[in-house]
């Protein structure tokens, strides 16, 4: 695991989303939830672009190229344009992904064979589950190329973090700045949580004076 992924894995999507907001960057997406095992996943993206069937589309099964290209710890991200009427990922692909050591799969749309992916222990994040096959309805337009997920641009090799709150993407060239900002936010919230558990009134902990005090402490490090 590279150092940036190791640091990202210690955070949560809420802290990273707040950091993206602070830096004026896009990256948090809506509507994607864990459908199988619930665990935090961080990794680098391998992308898949799906769309309507077209002449000259690759003959391989959709997603297979990304599975073959993936390295252990990677996260496969599928542009499925939010479609929930047809699957953009299935059980055999999940089986192949597990064999390659893929950490998770994220589908901007529906997937199927959720029970199989659950039994395999593969984390799958998607908009919905549906039994309808992609065969004859969807084609792969490419893999390991720039895609869009819920309006957010994602490139191969970008960073992604997914947990029970959702999914956030971090552009590779912005990763150091975003992670550093998220670490500061996360540390501040841990201090606040500790004070709440010690019995400090939540209204006081959430107040502006407390926030200013924490900022002063951070500035004096």
Mean pLDDT, the chain, rounded, equals 92
Tokens of 171: 């552009």
Domain boundaries defined on the chain: 3-171, 178-219
CA–chain centroid gap for 13, Å, is 8
Please check the confidence at residue 115 and state whether its pLDDT lies above 80: yes
Whole-number pLDDT of residue 209: 58
What is the C-alpha to C-alpha distance for residues 173 and 196, in angstroms, rounded to an integer?
37
Q: Across-strand partners of 107? A: 78
The answer to whether the pTM exceeds 0.75 is yes
Nearest to residue 69, comparing CAs of 42, 96, 108, 33? 96
Confidence of residue 145 (pLDDT cuts 50, 70, 90): very high
CB 73 within 8 A of CB 103: yes
CA atoms within 13 A on the CB side of 169: 28
What is the C-alpha to C-alpha distance for residues 72 and 97, in angstroms, rounded to an integer?
9
Per-residue pLDDT reduced to its tens digit, 10-49:
999 999 999 999 999 999 999 999 999 999 999 999 999 9
CB 27 within 8 A of CB 170: yes
What is the H or E stretch that residue 48 is in? strand 41-51
Per-residue pLDDT reduced to its tens digit, 60-97:
789 999 999 999 999 999 999 999 999 999 999 999 99
Instruction: Collect all residues with Cβ–Cβ distance below 8 Å to 94 and sequence separation of at least 6.
Output: 105, 113, 116, 117, 120, 122, 124
Q: Which CATH architecture has domain 3-171?
A: 3-Layer(bba) Sandwich (3.50)
């Amino acid at each position: 695991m590279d150092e940036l992924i190791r640091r990202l894995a210690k955070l949560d999507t809420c802290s990273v989303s707040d950091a993206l907001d602070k830096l004026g960057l896009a990256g948090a997406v809506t509507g994607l939830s864990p459908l199988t095992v619930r665990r935090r996943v961080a990794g680098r993206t391998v992308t898949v672009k799906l769309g309507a069937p077209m002449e000259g589309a690759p003959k391989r099964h959709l997603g297979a190229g990304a599975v073959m290209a993936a390295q252990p710890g990677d996260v496969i991200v599928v542009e499925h344009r939010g479609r929930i009427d047809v699957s953009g990922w299935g059980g055999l692909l999940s089986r192949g992904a597990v064999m390659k050591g893929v950490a998770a799969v994220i589908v901007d749309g529906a997937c199927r064979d959720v029970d199989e992916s659950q039994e395999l222990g593969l984390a799958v994040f998607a908009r919905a589950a549906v039994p309808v096959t992609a065969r004859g309805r969807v084609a792969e337009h490419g893999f390991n190329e720039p895609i869009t997920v819920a309006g957010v641009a994602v490139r191969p090799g970008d960073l992604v973090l997914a947990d029970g709150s959702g999914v956030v993407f971090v552009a590779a060239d912005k990763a150091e700045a975003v992670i550093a900002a998220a670490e500061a936010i996360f540390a501040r919230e841990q201090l606040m949580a500790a004070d709440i558990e010690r019995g400090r009134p939540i209204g006081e902990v959430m107040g502006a004076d407390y926030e200013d005090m924490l900022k002063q402490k951070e500035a004096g490090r």
